[in-house]
A and B are shown apart, each in its own frame.
Chain A
């Protein structure tokens, strides 16, 4: 595959920053706001933002069901922060009407690290990446349990922060803010291309 086409869910949040990183890596980027935008994608990123807002807009934009179907059919996906919450199978401290895709067997707790004052930067050691990755955690969710089929690629003080299950990659931090494209590269090379 020469130029992968990657959608970025653009309902709200840090979608433009993801698009910038992907373009720098040579991918074609499609902002996804309507069901038609899902056609022809090799992968999709669910960005950080407010998961409650995105959940509402997924419904009102008639995107929830077609995106769930695409994920069921094996569309490669990378969810960061709020995107991780949307992909998880179980969400604690969310809203009762918040719908998630259940694409990866994780139990996550929203805002587990506290308010913005407790948001932080930390260097992570990530499987298969040299050196450390400078990670930014903003009002981040915490993965409380990872299912049997889930590989944990990085931890912070014991908690999983980067996980993969088949075609689903999730991070509780924001690689799009780090000026380091290695995790997006890993998504394109290992998750998107691997399924072609």
Chain B
């Protein structure tokens, strides 16, 4: 064995390390949970991570009021209940909530439109943190602005708490459609793309070269069934977030496991047919045109 240094130099918080965890979550399901019991059900069902929050989006929508970062005690309880990564939400622009979540040792911070924004102009400077961030996006320009601020993972927003997949579909198709178009653009057209998207030119040029976002892209907002998860995976999402869709259904443990299996076998219709059987009623869901507040409109 070759001579080795006596003590290694370990570098934490690099972009590679922060984006690396998102790579490990690919092909998986991240589930919203509000207490340790739900977290254990999620882990039992095969979740790759849990998102700790005080109320699932459908309850936030119903109850109204200002939605904030969860109580650290509740987050610590969930961290103690599971061995998989624990994510938690901070309000858009609320960098102190993010500092607190980092101090708690959460594995990912979601700067989330599901909570009430704390800043109407600025998102958090995410480069300043060791903990990685995930942010929502409805279109490619929004995704690239978040990446330029240091987001290590993008999730298409969809419309949280509705159990209605239509907005997630719209956002995914918009982001992936523009990426496909940029790969066909010539070098002169990329300047106009950057202007139209209100996004940094180097990121647009990187997409033209690689054909993908510089960070992984998952899908969130309105997923309620195994078929929903498989559809967004076929459209090009790399993992799924499921919020109200699991714990607002009649049989969360069974539905959670079915969505995990559907996310893995998303192209195998026979497996999808098998896991979709007998799950009991899904969450009731909401028609988008009836909503008073569209959460996806938050963020700039």
Residues of A within 8 A of B (CB): 10-17, 33-34, 48-50, 52-53, 56-57, 60-61, 81-82, 93-95, 110-111, 114-123, 125-127, 136, 138-139, 152, 155-157, 174, 177
In contact, B131 and A57 (Cβ under 8 angstroms): no
- Nearest A residue to B23 by beta-carbon distance? A14
Shortest CB–CB separation between residue A63 and chain B, in angstroms? Answer: 11
CB-defined contacts of A50 to chain B, threshold 8 Å: 24-25, 28, 48-49, 84-85
B20: A residues at CB distance < 8 A: 119, 136, 138, 174, 177
A53 touches B10 (CB 8 A): no
How distant is the Cα of A114 from the Cα of B86 in the complex, in angstroms?
Answer: 12
Q: Give the docked Cα–Cα distance between A16 and B47 (Å).
A: 19
B268 vs chain A, min Cβ distance (A): 8
Verify if B2 is at the interface (C-beta below 8 Å from A).
yes
Q: Which residue of A lies closest to B266 (CB)?
A: A33
The residues of A that contact B47 with a CB separation of less than 8 Å are 53
- Alpha-carbon gap, A61 to B264, bound state (A): 10
CB contact between A117 and one of B4, B9, B131 (< 8 Å): that residue:
B131
Q: Could you list some 19 contacts between A and B, CB below 8 A?
A: A13-B28, A16-B26, A49-B24, A49-B27, A49-B48, A53-B46, A53-B48, A61-B261, A61-B264, A94-B83, A116-B21, A116-B107, A116-B131, A117-B131, A119-B12, A121-B10, A126-B2, A139-B85, A152-B1
The residue from B7, B11, B26, B28 contacting A120, defined by CB atoms under 8 A apart: B11
- Interface secondary structure of B, over-half rule: loop
B8 within 8 A of A: yes
Q: Name B's A-contacting residues (CB within 8 A).
A: 1-5, 7-14, 16-18, 20-21, 23-28, 43, 45-49, 83-85, 102, 105-108, 130-132, 257, 260-261, 263-265, 268
CB distance from B3 to the nearest CB of A (A): 7
CB distance from B190 to the nearest CB of A (A): 24
Complex alpha-carbon distance, A49 and B47, angstroms: 11
Q: Are B9 and A115 in contact (CB under 8 A)?
A: no
Evaluate contact between A117 and B12: CB separation under 8 angstroms: yes
Q: Which residues on the A side are within 8 Å of B260 (C-beta)?
A: 53, 56-57
CB distance from A153 to the nearest CB of B (A): 8
Query: Are the CB atoms of A52 and B46 closer together than 8 Å?
Result: yes
Chain B: minimal CB distance from A155 (Å): 6
- CB of B85 within 8 A of CB of A116, answer yes
The interface residues of chain B lying within 8 Å CB-to-CB of A14 are 23-24, 26
With A and B bound together, what is the CA distance between A57 and B48 in angstroms? 12
A56 neighbours in B (Cβ, 8 Å): 45-46, 257, 260
Q: Is A121 a contact of B264 with CB atoms below 8 Å?
A: no
Partner of A13, one of B24, B85, B102: B24
Complex Cα distance, B80 from A93, in Å, reads 12
CB-based nearest B residue for A120: B10
CB-CB nearest 6 A-B residue pairs:
A116-B107, A120-B10, A56-B46, A12-B27, A50-B48, A138-B20
Q: Which of A57, A116, A117, A157 contacts B46 (CB 8 A)?
A: A57
Question: Which chain A residues lie closer than 8 Å to B21 at the CB level?
Answer: 116, 119, 138-139
Q: Which residue from chain B places its CB closest to the CB of A14 in the assembled complex?
A: B23
Query: Which residues of A have CB within 8 Å of B43?
Result: 52, 95
- CA A124 – CA B22 in complex, angstroms? 23
* A96 to B51 CA separation, bound complex (whole angstroms): 23
**Contact across chains for A10 and B27 when beta carbons are under 8 A apart:** yes
A81→B25 CA distance, assembly (Å):
13
B residues less than 8 Å from A123 (CB atoms): 8-9
| Distance between A7 CB and nearest chain B CB, rounded to angstroms | 15
Q: Is there an interface contact between B1 and A13, defined as CB atoms closer than 8 Å?
A: no
User: Are A116 and B132 in contact, CB atoms less than 8 angstroms apart?
Assistant: yes
Interface centre among B12, B105, B106, B263 (most CB of A within 10 A): B12
User: Chain A contacts of B48 at CB under 8 A?
Assistant: 12, 49-50, 53
Contact present for B83 and A122 (CB under 8 Å): no
Task: Name the B residues within 8 Å of A119 (CB-CB).
Answer: 12, 17, 20-21
Q: Which residues in A have their C-beta under 8 angstroms from that of B10?
A: 120-122
List of A residues within 8 angstroms of B25 by Cβ: 49-50
Whether B264 and A11, one on each chain, are in contact in the complex, defined by CB atoms closer than 8 angstroms, is yes
